[in-house]
């Protein structure tokens, strides 16, 4: 067991009371950065105060760094300002594009997977790093549509970005589960390919079936395959991991979310134990 592994929750205002009264069971919190770009200073100070007392990471959703279009300077500046004010442990963004040609998609769209998009994404990550002074961890995204214009696999594309990107990979296991179902690949083959040593943080969440596909809506409990993948990663990644449970609505009692965190803790510990036994046999 790696005693430095941590298990936390995505901060949501609707969960605030439950989170604050159970901080002793929540090792870290992840705050949606964009919610604070134009927030009253009182709200930003509240997050800053929280970050002084408990590990807080900022998670951005609207920079659109996986794009051939350069990120919006104003948004990058807002991110830099927020990092400066809150002083989080780290920050992250998604490997997605969210706007193009003046059109706001409204959510994270999977980029076409090809050499051009890898180069453009790395350039945008470098620009974000330069503006904020801190390299973001980059998160793999889920999709119901296989992005057109792709000529390399998700595993190869992710590996290329994760290997080079200075902030490494934020590994979302429900997104891997979702894409493996939607596009018919073996999630364990992907997990065996990507550079797991570049992962510091893991997201877990739940979604729902829409016909023959899964939608990563963060409104449902974490499904069994995600816990199994979590244990698989814990066997192979020797570095300390921070696991964050994401829930974006249809909130259950906080006890249910804490129970999901306990199950994540169990899965990671089982993976660590298995790794220890494997090592002892060598």
Residues that bind another protein (CB under 8 A): 35, 39-40, 42-43, 67-69, 97, 99-107, 109, 111-112, 114, 116-117, 120, 143-151, 182, 210-211, 213, 215
- Measured from the CB atom, the residue of 113 and 203 that comes closer to another protein is 113
- The kind and range of the H/E element at 243 are strand 242-245
> Minimum distance between the CB of residue 64 and another protein, rounded to whole angstroms?
9
User: Cα separation of 160 and 154, whole Å?
Assistant: 10
- Measured from the CB atom, the residue of 17 and 100 that comes closer to another protein is 100
> Minimum distance between the CB of residue 187 and another protein, rounded to whole angstroms?
19
- Measured from the CB atom, the residue of 133 and 211 that comes closer to another protein is 211
> Minimum distance between the CB of residue 107 and another protein, rounded to whole angstroms?
4
Residue 40 dihedral angles phi and psi, to the nearest 5°: -60, 150
- Measured from the CB atom, the residue of 89 and 246 that comes closer to another protein is 246
- Measured from the CB atom, the residue of 132 and 182 that comes closer to another protein is 182
Give SS3 for 103: strand
> Minimum distance between the CB of residue 172 and another protein, rounded to whole angstroms?
16
User: Cα separation of 188 and 173, whole Å?
Assistant: 11
> Minimum distance between the CB of residue 65 and another protein, rounded to whole angstroms?
13
Taking the CA of residue 61 as centre, how many other CA atoms within 13 Å lie in the half-sphere pointing to its CB? 13
User: Cα separation of 92 and 65, whole Å?
Assistant: 11
> Minimum distance between the CB of residue 145 and another protein, rounded to whole angstroms?
4
- The kind and range of the H/E element at 215 are strand 213-215
Give SS3 for 97: strand
- Measured from the CB atom, the residue of 132 and 178 that comes closer to another protein is 178
Contact between 201 and 137 under an 8 Å Cβ cutoff? The reply is yes
- Measured from the CB atom, the residue of 90 and 143 that comes closer to another protein is 143
Q: Where are the beta strands (DSSP E) in 12-136?
A: 29-32, 56-59, 90-94, 97-100, 103-109
Vertex 62: Cα angle to 166 and 14 (nearest 5): 110
> Minimum distance between the CB of residue 179 and another protein, rounded to whole angstroms?
12
């Amino acid at each position: 067991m790696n005693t430095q592994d941590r298990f936390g929750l995505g901060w949501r205002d609707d969960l605030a009371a439950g989170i604050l009264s159970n901080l002793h069971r929540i090792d870290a919190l992840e705050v949606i950065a964009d919610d604070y770009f134009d927030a009253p200073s009182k709200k930003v100070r509240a997050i800053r105060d929280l970050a002084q007392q408990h590990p807080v990471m900022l998670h951005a959703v609207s920079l659109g760094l996986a794009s051939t279009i350069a990120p919006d300077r104003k948004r990058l500046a807002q991110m830099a300002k927020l990092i400066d004010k809150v002083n989080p442990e780290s920050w992250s963004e998604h490997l997605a594009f969210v706007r193009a040609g003046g059109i706001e998609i409204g959510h994270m769209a999977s980029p076409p997977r090809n050499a051009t998009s890898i180069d453009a994404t790395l350039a945008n990550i470098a620009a974000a790093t330069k503006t904020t002074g801190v390299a973001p961890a980059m998160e793999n995204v889920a999709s119901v549509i296989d992005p057109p214009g792709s000529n390399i696999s998700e595993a190869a594309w992710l590996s290329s970005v994760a290997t080079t990107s200075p902030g490494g990979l934020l590994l979302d296991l429900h997104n891997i589960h979702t894409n493996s179902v939607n596009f018919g690949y073996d999630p364990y083959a992907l997990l065996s390919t990507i550079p797991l040593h570049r992962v510091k943080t893991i997201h877990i969440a739940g979604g729902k079936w829409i016909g023959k596909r899964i939608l990563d809506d963060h409104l449902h409990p974490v499904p069994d395959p995600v816990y199994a993948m979590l244990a698989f990663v814990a066997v192979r990644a020797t570095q300390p991991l921070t696991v964050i449970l994401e829930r974006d609505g249809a909130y259950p009692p906080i006890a249910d979310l804490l129970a999901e965190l306990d199950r994540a803790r169990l899965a990671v510990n089982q993976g660590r134990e298995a790794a220890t036994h494997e090592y002892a046999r060598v």
